[in-house]
Structure 1
């Protein structure tokens, strides 16, 4: 595959860093009820030790093709994660970072990040983020990237180029490549920022709450949960309704994180999807607090979508909900099964939900993808993975996690 940079934002970098054709109509899961299901879930398949807890905790069985990681199950672990994310740490989340390659490429200088570059490999054996020779019948594909940030101060949380460079949208546009969301509605509650640590470095992403049987499921990008074939994220938290540093609905820690096996095994960008089962806060499930968007699989391709997230690379500062909207199209380079959309969102927006059948008046829609990557020669087009059978199995597993 071609060189990639993650569309995420990193913190404290200056200290040194050691298919099948789609069905004609979508299969939409029905909305969850007002409470937990009356019948219990299937018994767990195994018990695993939890670090620092000294006890065995149940791990729900997962279907083939899904990889699961135990996060903060105990109250002690949850308190530790919440204590880690001080306001200062959150405010210092800066654009930049190469999840899998920062440590290998060494420290960063002047805010610039190198691309992952390696010799071409056969299509089915290439590691994530490496060059792939294009098919003879197609034009050569430019590098893909999740843009690295530049021009941001490493000593504070504010951008040197404020979000005011893009005026707020009073009336949501049918087509826009990037504007401040000012219409309110459910999307302002269900979309939020993600804070995580990977290889000892702090990052930010975006994510969205979706309706589920457990009322605890969050959907984001795979690289916001696991570094491809590398490590899992630590200190993973979701802040729904984030706005200018405010956390109006609390902070939800992850109890289990899940990704598709193709992402975990080889960083396949067609499967850059992550789902997270979060812990309740003060006895209240995420769905009780903010609700959730519906989620669909095998939806018709080429539909219009609204993409949301918290881009932190200039001209944005990561403090406000930004959106883009327009028609989707296939990857013109044929390197993924993803769909593209005209979208100027930058680093920090990774994992933000794409909503089809979206109603701007209510802020409700159907999640059919998440923001994943851009090609380096076309920074105005965002690509997101197509939610097919693999994503459906991932979601079913997340509901049992």
Structure 2
């Protein structure tokens, strides 16, 4: 099986949600889905429509007719125009568009083009799997002046998570027209890579956010492009380099 796109964890410590240029604490609690609608840990099911799912979308090649090949999520910035995904999902930024809340062929919050990409030098120079995290700025594909975060809100970004943090993944397999949701406890695959057991996260789910208490604590990618087994997924640990990329994107998002 091919890596996910269809086309150095630190010692255990308390988690830290980044002070992402504006306070986000009030939003975190309301981003969590209704407990009655969430499947048990380690079970993958179609995600319902809620605020968290609306902030996650599919990446397409050119237009919605071009097929979706990766997943991304809106993260908070002062200029309200930043998304997070896997670096390997942004090889063709000039032809990549983002549709948050995509479902059944429809883009309820519009289609957004990429206006800037922020990836680590070690990814650009050698595709280092430990740097398979990226941020991008977006603007309406139709030439409008809207801000994506005004439409769907944005997740805060979190670093320094415990080794066994429980995360929720929301992502779009390339063959599906709605996102899947799975939550489980993570473990360290290596000092720089985190792994999770969640069934059925096949090609297209690369870039899916790993949400810890409503904050992006990783994205599906890293080792083997996210994994060659759809039942086991990986994320590079969200560390200082990812934080720097996030800050760069947030500053340049105007």
TM-score bracket, shorter-length normalisation: 0.7 to 0.9
Aligned equivalents of 2:82, 2:11: Cα separation in 1: 24
Does the alignment pair 1:382 with 2:233?
A: yes
Aligned equivalents of 1:374, 1:352: Cα separation in 2: 10
Structure 1 stretches of 5 or more lacking a match? 11-18, 35-168, 227-231, 358-364
Residue-by-residue CA offset, 1:148-196 (whole Å, 9 max, x unaligned): xxxxxxxxxxxxxxxxxxxxx97212313421112x3211210000113
Match of 1:369 in 2: 218
Match of 1:234 in 2: 94
Q: Is the 8 A contact 1:32 1:215 kept in 2?
A: no
Task: With a CA cutoff of 8 Å and minimum separation of 6, indicate the structure with the bigger relative contact order.
Answer: 2
Structure number having the greater helix percentage: 2
Q: Is the 8 A contact 1:8 1:205 kept in 2?
A: yes
Q: 1:243 to 1:338 in 2, by over 3 A?
A: same
Residue 258 of structure 1 and its aligned partner are, at CA, apart by: 1.2
**Larger Rg: 1 or 2?**
1
Match of 1:309 in 2: 171
Aligned equivalents of 2:47, 2:75: Cα separation in 1: 19
Aligned equivalents of 1:383, 1:397: Cα separation in 2: 25
Residue 351 of structure 1 and its aligned partner are, at CA, apart by: 0.3
Give the secondary structure class of the aligned counterpart of 1:319: coil
Q: 1:351 to 1:290 in 2, by over 3 A?
A: same
TM-score by length of 1: 0.54
Aligned equivalents of 1:186, 1:291: Cα separation in 2: 8
Match of 1:175 in 2: 41
Residue 213 of structure 1 and its aligned partner are, at CA, apart by: 1.6
Match of 1:206 in 2: 71
Match of 1:351 in 2: 207
Does the alignment pair 1:298 with 2:154?
A: no
Does the alignment pair 1:340 with 2:205?
A: no
TM-score by length of 2: 0.83
Q: 2:61 aligns with which of 180, 196, 212?
A: 196
Q: 2:10 aligns with which of 3, 21, 25?
A: 21
Aligned length: 232
Aligned pairs for 1:2-401 (under 5 A) are 5-10=2-7, 19=8, 21-22=10-11, 24-30=13-19, 171-182=37-48, 184-196=49-61, 204-226=69-91, 232-280=92-140, 282-312=144-174, 317-331=175-189, 334=190, 337-343=192-198, 344-357=200-213, 365-372=214-221, 373-376=225-228, 378-401=229-252
Residue 389 of structure 1 and its aligned partner are, at CA, apart by: 0.3
Match of 2:26 in 1: none
Match of 1:148 in 2: none
Q: Is the 8 A contact 2:59 2:71 kept in 1?
A: yes
Match of 2:28 in 1: none
Residue 26 of structure 1 and its aligned partner are, at CA, apart by: 2.8
Aligned equivalents of 1:386, 1:397: Cα separation in 2: 18
Q: Is the 8 A contact 1:196 1:234 kept in 2?
A: no
Residue 33 of structure 1 and its aligned partner are, at CA, apart by: 5.6
Residue 21 of structure 1 and its aligned partner are, at CA, apart by: 2.9
